[in-house]
Each structure stands twice: as structure tokens, then as C-alpha cells.
Structure 1
Amino acid sequence: MSIPQLDSPAKAEAVVPGRTPAVIRLLVLATFVVILNETIMINAIPPLMEALHITEQTAQWLSTAFMLTMAAVIPITGWFLQRVSTRHAYATAMGLFLLGTAAAMVAPSFEVLLGARIIQASGTAVMMPLLMTTLMQVVPEGDRGRVMGNLSLAISVAPAMGPAVSGLILQFGSWRLLFAVVLPIAALITWGGLRQLKNVGEPKPGTIDWLSVVTAAAGFGGLVYGLSRFEGGDLRVAAAIVAAGLAAIAIFVFRQLWLQKHGVPLMDLRTLRHRTYTVSLILMSVAFMAMLGSMILLPLYLQNVRGLSALETGLLVMPGGLAMGLLGPTVGRLFDRFGGRVLVIPGAIGITLALTGFTQVTMTMPYWQLLALHALLMICLAVTFTPVFTLALGAVPAHLYSHGSSILSTLQQVAAAFGTALVITVMSARADAAKSAGATDMLALLDGMRLAFIIGAVLSVVVVVTALLLPARAHSSSGEPEEAGHMSPA
């Protein structure tokens, strides 16, 4: 059977209530593979250092560059997804991912491997906004919670499985095997997707504003890079890069506001006029900071303080990630039936309780207790994220879906970088102070970790407060900005 043309006309897929549209199932499967690739390199750092004769700081650039590329490319996706067909966007995302994976598999040097990771990240950056935008276009409002819950299988389970999967694969071969395993799977998914995927919606012609592209890439990329430099770098240099990134973002924002009146914005900020969307954005950003901070600290604690291997660490945190993903569909169905508040408020409180529990880590805390706290955190994040994603995008009119998902994804990258920089800086500063006061290296590190977990717990209080401001459901069928008085409190 021949593959249909990429620019085949958009066809309305018959949506059966209670069933996930085929286009969403295809995109979720592809997203699972590309997100799995984000964390699959974690356990490969030691063998990479030995094989390519590089330092740990150099090897970490494979993760930093991925994050930088995501932050720089995602702001463009809102404009891009409105200008091309669903199939073109899918082919672009998976084509870039396949090219990067193939190049990484045969990379003769670190520089080539780094370039391959950047190409992979460019494809990944398109996939998530494409999935979210398509979902909002094809899934009826009454089914969105259930379908959005299914996305957690890709968003949550894939990162959780990455370290364990890579640890297992590395038992059988070199770091190249990581890419050799992913490549044929991704190629098969791409081929199957292009055979079955239909275009959704109609592309809109338009030109791109290159000043916006440059300031977005420099601003968001610079901000994430500057935040990453706080980990073991010169704090003054890092602060200067962050300040430059913020300045570029300010120029980007003013440019978008001007283009909203005189042209076509790269990222339409009119989504922020919708109160539920803006509150959801704040909640998601702070929750991501707290979550990513804890996801960085827990492996450091397990490996550096408790002496577990990377594979053992991955296996210990996997149950929480699996629970988060598998609970997603149930959370989605509950959202469709009862609305968001009955889920988000208890979920936010549970996040605070879990992070508070982590502030009590010791040299001998039982592993079952650590596993239980991590599982509680992941489950509460699932209970929170699925409704908040649905409420956020449900609050904006259809023509702003791509921009809304682009802004959400961009701020996730920034929040992840900020959360990581915050906890590492706090942990290092407290550990140095403890060592100066006479504590042993291990006790000083543990003391720093406790303080960093306290910061995460404090941040989570903001999540609870913003959860109280959310309505049970978002209503934006008119396409007009929501008013506070029109929002049901329960």
C-alpha cells in the first residue's frame, strides 16, 4: 500500500464517544518513543566518558544541549503548527528524530554525537505541541479528560522508564546500542503513522517574523543555559547569562504584542487573557519546578549517599513513574465526570505532603519509605497535571490551541531548568557551609539535600494556593476571554 501524500486534504475523523481517536493513539505512541529518548542517556554518561575520552562536565552537555534546543525550538511551534498540515508536522518531527538517532548511533566523536542530540531534540520539540493541539481539535469536550489522561502514559511513564531501560541495555553492549534499539522502533512508528495519519484542521498561510525567532531562541535558550550553569559553574557568569536571556525574552514579548496588532505573532500572548489558562500556567510551572527538583535530588541521594547503582536507582523510582502513567486514564475519566477541583486540590496537598516527607531523609531511611514517598508524589502529580492541562487548553478558543500548547511546553522547559538550578545551588551552598562548620562530606551533602527538599516543599504550597483558584471546568466556546465572575468555583 502506498503512503498518501503529505498534503492530502484534511478529513474529519468520525469520533466515537468513549473511544480515543486513531490520530491521538498514533501521536501518543510516537511521543512515548521521543520522550523516552530524553532520559535514556542518564546511565550512559560513565561509558561515554571512557569511550570518547571526555570529562563528566563535557558529557553532561548531551543533556544540557537537548534541554536548550527544546527551549529554543518550542516557542516557534505555535506558529509552525498553524502553517503546515498535521502530516507535515508529524513527518518533520519524526524525520528529525530519526536523523538524529541514526547520526548518534554512528557518531565518531563527541561533537557529532552532540549535534545528533540537538537534531533529536528539534523533532521532540515539535511532537508534544502537535499532540496537544491535535487532541483539542478532534476530541469532544466531554471526553478530553479521559483522552488527556491517556497522554500520561507517554508523558510520565517514558521518562520514568528511561534510566531503567538504558541500564538494562548497557548490560549487553556499548552506549551505541541505546540508539540502535530506538532507531528501528521509531522508524516503524513513523512508517505506520504516515500510512494511517490524516490531516486535522486547515493550514493557514503566513510569513514568519525572524526577529521573533532570534529573540525567542536567544531568550529562552539563553535563560535555560544560564540556569544550567548554576550547577558547578561560576555564579556571576551564570547570573549574567540569565539576565541576558531575560532581556531577550522581554524584547520577544514586546515584539509579540506589537505583531498582535500589526502582523502575525510567532507566539500569540492573547492566550494569557484567559484567567483559567493563566492560573493553570502558573500552577504547572511551579509544580514542574518542585517535581524536577525532587527528580534530580532523589537519584543523587540514592547514589551518592546510599551507594546504589544507576540501574538500582532507576528500578527504585520506576514504580512511581509507572503508577503516575497508569493512573492517568482513571484521573481523566474522573475529571470528565466531576470536574477539576475535586482532583487538583487533593493532588496539590499530596504533593506538599510527599515533598515534606523527603525533607526527613537520613543515612538509613528504609527504602520502602523512599519508594512510598516517591510513589505518593508521582500519583499526586498525575491527579494534578491531567486536569490542569485539560482546563488550561479548554479555556482558550480553538484558533489559539497551538499557541497555548506551545507556551505551556516552553514554560515547562524553563521551569525544569529553574527547578534544577535552584535545588543544586541551594544544596551546594548548604553543604559547603556545613563542611566549613566541621561536618563530614557525606553529612554535609545530606544536610544540603534536606534544605533543597524544603525549598521544593515551600514551592508546592504555591501549587496548593493556585489550585484553589481553578474552576471545576473551563468554558471558552465563545472564544472570548474568561471573566472571574463567570467562573464556577466548584
Structure 2
Amino acid sequence: MNSASIETQGAVDVSGIRRGPIVAALIIGCFVAILNETLLNIAFPDLMVEFGVSVATIQWLSTAYMLVIGILVPITALLQQWFTTRQMFLTAMGLFLAGTILCGVAPVFSFLLIGRVAQALGTGLLIPVLMNTILIIYPPEKRGAAMGMIGLVIMSAPAIGPTISGLIIQSLNWRWLFFLVIPLTAFSILFAAIYLKNVSDLTKPKVDLLSIVLSTIGFGGMVYAFSRAGETSWSDSIVTFSLIVGGIALVLFIWRQLAVKEPLLELRVFKYSLFTLVTVLLLIVMMTLFSTMILLPLFLQNALGKTALATGLILLPGGVINGLLAPVSGKLFDKFGPRVLVIPGLALMAVSIWLFSGISATTGTGMIIALHIMLLIGISMVMMPAQTTGLNELPRHLYPHGTAILNTLQQVAGAIGTALFISIMSAGTKAYMKTSSDPNSPAELVNGLIAGMHNAFFAAMFAAIAALAIGLFIKKAQAPDEEQKAVIARHDSH
């Protein structure tokens, strides 16, 4: 069956649909889910005391979350062709609500972990559904502004999460991190039940169980390996085993997708050169973003002696500005195309990371805030415009596959970035301490940490320069013939 016939088969007519309520329903749900992703980290010390568990055990609340999303997102391309937008969203938010309630009342650690897994299942379903819906209901020339609204949620929610978390823990206790989310989640479900309409095309392809198994082992193994390497070391036998098993499963998964008639993930999206270029660019950008997300809190708390709440407040302005600029970037993208935003944005990223590589124990808080804002302004100019450019090149029947691939690889890039830059920092710290005349003094411990961070930021800077070089080849995507015809037909019908 050729792409043109797939394009029109069972396609939902979205010409007269009200976009506002649909987008609002999706954005409210995603905001709640993504906000919760970063709420819990600051509460880890309290949770260790409450449940009597170790650092390694408590990290599973974060690792399991990433692992579930890394496993689930590749399967969303199939799920979106079997279930309606409405079914997917309400199921996702139902899972998220059940997980949130279970976390809030958890009497033992295992209940808390199961609740986090349920929350991750909901979050993993939501983001691809949101992006796919935007691609369907907006024509290419208006997608930038719509994707900018997604950027507002995806970027601002994690930024304000740690600050809100710090305030809640200081005033109440960790259970309120979940109790306060319950009414927001319930409102999101009620709003969606009233306003959310189906816009996806249900083709109900054959379910290839072998592909699902290989995808789960492959992506799950890689995400787990890199997450564990960030917590332990690359020499850990479990890391090595997970990398080997995950790598073999991924190779077999790729072979399977190219061999079967109806693949779980349509890897032929990489035949579209602009989509491929954007995918590589976003992988590097996500790795550099995660490097600063993990390194800056360590620097602020362990080198400058800031509290968790103060750290959240210092990093808050950059995150908020980043979120607020996302819709602006989207509108500029619609008007001028990607190059005007992506190239200056990547240059800002490279410069800010280079300046971060020179920070020391005497660096003022104001300088950290300014550099962080500069970095996140650059990120806001790159992320959604680049992503929209790559997806705009795909025909409609490949939207679920394109969004699933981008979201999956960004999760993997986040895990790789965290592990890689933590490893570089640790190696730099160890090398410094070996040459120290007094390795046990507090001042030298701080100097060792800063030396390791300099190495990590230097590595991140070279990654940012590589991203800038790739960004020079980004151009405005041409909508596929089938989509251009559909846009003309919609216009003529009006």
C-alpha cells in the first residue's frame, strides 16, 4: 500500500474542529504530569529517613520513572493507531491519578515505587499523544506557535518543580507533593472528558509481539545501563551486562522493523534527511541540557553550600524565562523559519557552557543566574523550532512514528548525558585529588569538585559546538505532497 493511500484511509476530518479546547485539555494534563517528574527529587533525604532505605534504593524512584518512559514511548506509535486520542489521554491521566493517590498514602517504600511506575506509565503515553495531535489539527504554517505552547509546558513545569517542592516540604511534608497534585489531575480528566475530541486515524495495524519484546529489552536496557552508570560507575558488571543485552536487542529490533510489513516503529522516517538531521541535533542538545541540569545543583549545594530550596530558587528564573519564550519562538518560527532561531540559539548555548567552564568557588550567585538564563534562552530558540522542522517534513501517516522516535531518543539522550557528564566530572575530581597535598581538607574537596566540573563543562562545550555545526544545515521543511493537497482541499472546501 503506498503512502498516499495510507494518508487518506480512515483519516479524521479536522477542518471544522475547535482546536482551543483540545489543546487546553492536553496541555493541562501534560503540565501536571511533567511537573510531578521533578517534584520528588528534593524530598529524597526525607524519604530515606521515612522508609529507612539507602541512597541506592531511593534512586529507583527516579530510575524506574525514566525506565518506564523509555520502554513505553516507542510503543505509543502503535497504540495511537489502535486507540483514539480521547481513549489514550483519559487512560494516561487515569493511570497517573491512581499512581499519585498510591504515592500519597504509601505505607511502605514498595507502594511508593509502584505508584511512581503508574505515574510514569501515564506520562509516557501523554507527550507523544500531545505532539501527534498538534501535527494533525494544525497546518504546517501554524504549527510553530502551537508547538511553542507545548514548549511552555515541557520547559517551565520541570523548572518550577524543585522550587514548589522545596516550599511544600518546608511547610508541610512530602506526602503533600502528591496530595496537592490530585485535584489538578482530577480537573484535567474532567475537562478532557467534556472537551477532548478524537483526531487520530485508527488503522489498527498488526501487533508484532516480538518487536515489542525487543523494544522493551533494547530501550529499557540502554536507559537502565546509563542511569546506573551515572549512579555507580562504567565498570559496574550490571552496567556492562545491561549495555550488551540492550545493544543486541536494539540491533535485532532495528532489523525486525526493516523486515516486517507493519513495523512497531517505522524507521524509514530516517529517509527524510531533515528529520534525521534534527534527530541528531536534538540528541546532542538534550545531552548538553542534562549535563547542566545535573552539574549546576551539585555545584550550588556542594561547592557554594546552598540549600536545596535556595538552589531551586537560583535555577527558577532561567526555567521560567525558557518556558515563557517557547511560544514566542514558535510564532517567530512560523514567520521566519528555523534558521533565524536555531543558529543563534545554538551559539548562545555554546557560549554559556564555555563561560560555565570557568566558574569557581568565588563565582557570585548573580553570575550563575545570568549564565543559566543565557543557556535556557538558547535552548528555547532551538528545541521546539528544530523539532517542528523535522516533523513537518513527514507525511501524516508517519506522525505517530516520528513523535515516538524523537521522544524515545530524547529519553535515551537524557540518560546518556547524565551518566557521561557525571563520569567525566568524577574522573576529573579523582585526578585532582591524587595531586592534592591535603586531600581531606574541605577546601580541597571543593576544589576537586570544581576541577571535575570544569572537565565536564568543557566536554559539554564541544558537544554544543558540534550541535552548532549541524544546525548550519537546518532549513525550512517542505510539507509532503499529500499534506499540501489536503491543506489545499481544506481551503477550497471553505
Q: TM-score, normalised by structure 1?
A: 0.93
Partner Cα distance (2:355, 2:479) in 1: 37
Q: C-alpha displacement at 1:409, in angstroms?
A: 0.3
Q: C-alpha displacement at 1:253, in angstroms?
A: 0.6
- Cα deviation 1:413-433 (Å, max 9, x = unaligned): 000000000011011111111
User: Contact 1:11–1:198 (CA<8 Å) still a contact in 2?
Assistant: no
Cα distance change on mapping 1:350 and 1:95 into 2, 3 Å: same
Alignment partner of 1:147 is 2:158? no
Q: C-alpha displacement at 1:301, in angstroms?
A: 0.2
- Cα deviation 1:351-377 (Å, max 9, x = unaligned): 100110100010010111110100011
Which residue number corresponds to residue 233 of structure 1?
A: 232
Partner Cα distance (2:363, 2:258) in 1: 52
Which residue number corresponds to residue 448 of structure 2?
A: 444
User: Contact 2:80–2:200 (CA<8 Å) still a contact in 1?
Assistant: no
- Cα deviation 1:43-93 (Å, max 9, x = unaligned): 110110110011122111101110011001101001111111111111111
Partner Cα distance (2:478, 2:416) in 1: 29
Matches within 5 A, 1:27-46: 27-46=26-45
Which residue number corresponds to residue 63 of structure 2?
A: 64
Alignment partner of 1:428 is 2:426? yes
Which residue number corresponds to residue 181 of structure 1?
A: 180
Q: C-alpha displacement at 1:385, in angstroms?
A: 0.9
The amino acid of 1:445's aligned partner reads: L
The amino acid of 1:193's aligned partner reads: A
Cα distance change on mapping 1:93 and 1:13 into 2, 3 Å: farther
Alignment partner of 1:471 is 2:492? no
- Cα deviation 1:428-449 (Å, max 9, x = unaligned): 1111111111152211111001
The amino acid of 1:68's aligned partner reads: L
- Cα deviation 1:433-468 (Å, max 9, x = unaligned): 111111522111110011101111111111101111
Q: C-alpha displacement at 1:11, in angstroms?
A: 6.4
Structural RMSD (CA): 1.5
Matches within 5 A, 1:448-467: 448-467=452-471
Q: C-alpha displacement at 1:109, in angstroms?
A: 1.0
Matches within 5 A, 1:293-442: 293-438=291-436, 440-442=444-446
Partner Cα distance (1:15, 1:369) in 2: 48
Matches within 5 A, 1:57-136: 57-136=56-135
The amino acid of 1:213's aligned partner reads: I
Partner Cα distance (1:420, 1:383) in 2: 22
Partner Cα distance (1:106, 1:38) in 2: 18
Cα distance change on mapping 1:15 and 1:337 into 2, 3 Å: farther
SS of the residue corresponding to residue 227 of structure 1 reads: helix
Which residue number corresponds to residue 276 of structure 1?
A: 274
Q: C-alpha displacement at 1:130, in angstroms?
A: 0.2
Which is worse superposed, 54-63 or 344-353? 54-63
Partner Cα distance (2:481, 2:419) in 1: 40
Partner Cα distance (1:120, 1:432) in 2: 38
Q: TM-score, normalised by structure 2?
A: 0.92
**Structure 1 gap ranges (5+):** 1-8, 481-490
User: Contact 2:103–2:116 (CA<8 Å) still a contact in 1?
Assistant: yes
The amino acid of 1:449's aligned partner reads: M
Partner Cα distance (1:227, 1:329) in 2: 33
User: Contact 2:356–2:457 (CA<8 Å) still a contact in 1?
Assistant: yes
The amino acid of 1:416's aligned partner reads: G
The amino acid of 2:244's aligned partner reads: A
The amino acid of 2:465's aligned partner reads: V
Cα distance change on mapping 1:434 and 1:125 into 2, 3 Å: same
The amino acid of 2:197's aligned partner reads: K
The amino acid of 2:374's aligned partner reads: L
The amino acid of 1:401's aligned partner reads: Y
Which residue number corresponds to residue 487 of structure 1?
A: none
Partner Cα distance (1:199, 1:55) in 2: 45
The amino acid of 2:452's aligned partner reads: G
Matches within 5 A, 1:132-211: 132-211=131-210
Partner Cα distance (1:156, 1:477) in 2: 33
Q: C-alpha displacement at 1:175, in angstroms?
A: 1.2
The amino acid of 1:252's aligned partner reads: F
Partner Cα distance (2:108, 2:13) in 1: 45
Q: C-alpha displacement at 1:232, in angstroms?
A: 4.0
Q: C-alpha displacement at 1:15, in angstroms?
A: 5.8
- Cα deviation 1:131-173 (Å, max 9, x = unaligned): 0000000012221111111111111000001100111111222
Q: C-alpha displacement at 1:207, in angstroms?
A: 2.9
Partner Cα distance (1:10, 1:338) in 2: 30
Aligned residues: 466
The amino acid of 1:290's aligned partner reads: T
Partner Cα distance (1:164, 1:386) in 2: 24
User: Contact 1:396–1:479 (CA<8 Å) still a contact in 2?
Assistant: no
Q: Percent identity?
A: 38
Cα distance change on mapping 1:234 and 1:291 into 2, 3 Å: closer
Which is worse superposed, 168-177 or 277-286? 168-177
User: Contact 1:49–1:56 (CA<8 Å) still a contact in 2?
Assistant: yes
Which residue number corresponds to residue 12 of structure 1?
A: 14
